[in-house]
A and B are shown apart, each in its own frame.
Chain A
C-alpha cells in the first residue's frame, strides 16, 4: 500500500534536513519552499486512487511538521495543499459532501462513499499542481493585497509602534507613507534581532518615514503616545491568537492596558487551523549566549539563562488581524481558517 517511493523519500529527507538545519527559515521562505517541495512530491507520486495521494500527503506532511514543528507555515502550506486536493476530489463526487454542522446529529449518511473514483490520476495531478502554483502566486503577492488597506488604518501624524521586524510590516508602512505622514517607533528586539531592527529602521527612514528606535524596556513608557501597534505575526491560530517574536506579548498587553489598538499583519499562509493548546510548546528557545555572552563567564557559570525567541499573544490583546484576504477581528479567524483548510487535516 505504501506509495512513498524511494524517490519521494529522498525528496522528503532532503527537505527535512534543510528545515532542521535552518537552511530555510522565516515563515515566508519556508512557505514558498514547502509549496515547491510539495509540487515535486506530487509530480513524483504514483497513485491509483485519490485517497492514496491524500494519505501520502498526510504522511509527508506529518514528517515535515515533526521535523520543525515551530516553522508553522510549512504545516499550513501542507494543509492548504491537502485542502486543494480534497476540493478537487469533492468537485467530482459532489454528493459526498457531509458538512459538519449542527444538523450532523440528524442527517444520515446513507449516501455510501463511491468506491471508484472517476477522477483520473493525471487530471488530479495537473489540477493540484496548478492549485499549488496559484498558492505560490498568492504567497508572493500577499503584500499587495495587504497594502491596499493602509489608508483605512493609518491617519496623518499618527504614531505607530512595531515590536516586530517583519517584511510584511515594512512593506505595509512604506506603502502607507505614500498617502500618509506618520512616525514609527521600532523596538530593538534585543538580543535576537537588533541588527535587523536597525536595518529595518534605516529602511523606513530611507522611505521618508520618521523612525525612532527605542529599547524594548521603553514600550510601556511611550505606549500612552502611541496610536496603533502593528505586529507582524509568525502564525495566527484559529482562535485569533498569534505567535510573534519574543517581547511582543508584553507589548500587546501594555497596548491593551492603554486601550491602544493592536493589529497583526499576516499573509493567509500564516493562518493555522490549530488551536494553541500548549503555549509552552509554541515557544522556541534560542541561543542563550546572546543573552549572556562568554565575556560574562563569571556569571554564566552561576546562573541559568534562557532566551525565548517567540511569544504567544492571546486573541484578547489583538484588535484586528489583517491578512491578504481582508481584515478580521480575531474572533472571526476560525472562519477564515475553515475556508482554507479541511478540518480532517488539522491533526496530521
Chain B
C-alpha cells in the first residue's frame, strides 16, 4: 500500500485488501489499519486536518461497505482514541509517527487478544461437554482450539448458518483440529438443544445493551437456549463493542432481503444457491442481552451490563 500515490487513496479498497490479505484479521482491525494507512499516506499536517480526513474517510468506508457494524466499531474506537490522545502528545509529529509506527502492533494485539479470550474462556469448557456453535467465528475457533490442545474432550455441534453456509467452513476447521463435530441445519437447533451443554457464538458487534449483532440465526439460538436453560456465551474481542442500540432483531441496516416479497420465484433464488446473493445483502441479526449469559472478552468475563460501562468509559471519560 505504500506504493499508492498520494491523492488516489481509496479507503474502501484498502480495507478490503487488508481483509483479503489476512484471513485472521477482523473487520474492526482492518478498518483501523486502513485508517492508519490513510494517515501515513495523506500525511495530514495539522490535527484539524487529520480529524477532517478521518471523519470523511470513515464515512466513505461505512457507506461503501454494506455490513458496516463491525468496522464502524473499529473506526469509532480509533476516532475516539485520536480525540482523546491529541492533547497528550506535546508535538503533532510525534503523535502521527506513533500512530503510523504502531500499525502492525494493533494487528498483533488484536490477535493476542484472541489468545487472551481463549484463556479466559477455557474454564467454561469441560470434559464431555456438547457445545453448540453457530456459524464461523475466528475467536470461537481459537477458544475451541485451545481447549482441544489442553486435552479437554468435548464435542461440537455446528450450525451450517445458511444462506452463507459459513458453518460448513467452521466444521471443517474444527475437524482439522481433531474435534468431533456434527454439522446440522439451522432448523435442527431446537431438536438438539436439550442435549447441548452450552452455546458459544462469536459476534460482529456488541451493542451498548450488551446484546450482540451476529450472523443470522444467533437470535433464534439464543431464544432456544434461554428456553432450555442452557448458558449462551458470546466470545468477542472488546474492539467489537459498538455504540449502537438496536431495538429488535431486525433493527439493523441493510437487512431487508429477508423481508422482500415477490411473486417471482427467481427473486428468491438465493435461498437455493448462495452464489446468487448480492454482495450488499446482509445476513445478521441482533440478539438482545437478556439471552446472553456472559460475554467472554479480552477484558475478562463480562456480564452484558459491563459492556455499556466500557462504552461509557470510552466516550465520557
Q: Which residues of A contact B (CB under 8 A)?
A: 100-106, 108, 238-240, 275, 277-278, 315, 331-332, 334-335, 343
Contacts and interface: CB of A to CB of B under 8 A. Distances in A.
Nearest to A238: B301
Given A331-B305, A334-B302, A101 B310 contact: yes
A108 B102 contact: yes
Interface of B: 32, 77-78, 81, 84, 98, 102, 105-106, 109-110, 113, 123-124, 126, 238-239, 241, 294, 298-306, 309-311, 313-314
B123 A278 contact: yes
Contact of B77 (A100, A105, A240): A105
Contacts of A335: 306, 309
A240 B105 CA distance: 36
B77 A275 contact: no
Nearest to B74: A105
B123 A102 contact: no
Given A239-B294, A239-B303, 12 more contacts: A100-B299, A102-B299, A102-B311, A106-B32, A106-B77, A106-B106, A238-B301, A277-B124, A278-B126, A331-B303, A335-B306, A335-B309
A240 B299 contact: no
A183 B268 CA distance: 64
Contact of B314 (A102, A108, A331, A343): A102
B303 A105 contact: no
A3 B104 CA distance: 41
Interface of chain B: mostly helix, strand, loop or mixed: helix
A323 B303 CA distance: 19
A343 B306 CA distance: 15
A102 B77 contact: yes
A105 B109 contact: yes
A69 to B, nearest CB: 14
B301 to A, nearest CB: 5
B306 to A, nearest CB: 5
Contacts, number: 63
A104 B109 CA distance: 9
A240 B310 contact: no
A228 to B, nearest CB: 23
B242 to A, nearest CB: 11
Given A108-B98, A108-B102, A331-B304, A102 B309 contact: no
Q: 7 closest Cβ contacts across the A-B interface?
A: A277-B123, A331-B305, A106-B81, A331-B303, A102-B238, A275-B301, A105-B239
Contact of A334 (B84, B109, B306, B313): B306
A108 B238 CA distance: 17
Contacts of B298: 104
Contacts of A108: 98, 102, 105
Q: B106, B123, B126, B311: which has the most chain A beta carbons within 10 Å?
A: B123
Contact of B300 (A102, A278, A343): A343
Nearest to B241: A102
17 contacts: A101-B310, A101-B314, A102-B238, A104-B238, A104-B298, A105-B106, A105-B110, A105-B238, A106-B106, A108-B98, A108-B105, A238-B301, A239-B303, A275-B301, A277-B124, A334-B303, A335-B306
A84 B304 CA distance: 28
Contacts of B310: 101-102
Contacts of A106: 32, 77-78, 81, 102, 106
A74 B126 CA distance: 26
Q: B78, B239, B241: which has the most chain A beta carbons within 10 Å?
A: B239
Contacts of A275: 123, 294, 301
B220 to A, nearest CB: 20
A104 B294 CA distance: 21
Nearest to B126: A278
B174 to A, nearest CB: 22
Contacts of B106: 105-106
A277 B302 CA distance: 13
Contacts of B123: 275, 277-278
A240 B294 CA distance: 11
A103 B314 contact: yes
B298 to A, nearest CB: 8
Given A108-B105, A277-B123, A103 B81 contact: yes
A102 B243 CA distance: 13
Nearest to A331: B305
Contacts of A239: 294, 301, 303
B21 to A, nearest CB: 20
A108 B81 CA distance: 12
A239 B294 CA distance: 8
A332 B307 CA distance: 11
A13 to B, nearest CB: 29
B44 to A, nearest CB: 18
Contacts of B77: 102-103, 105-106
Nearest to B120: A275
Contacts of A103: 77, 81, 84, 314
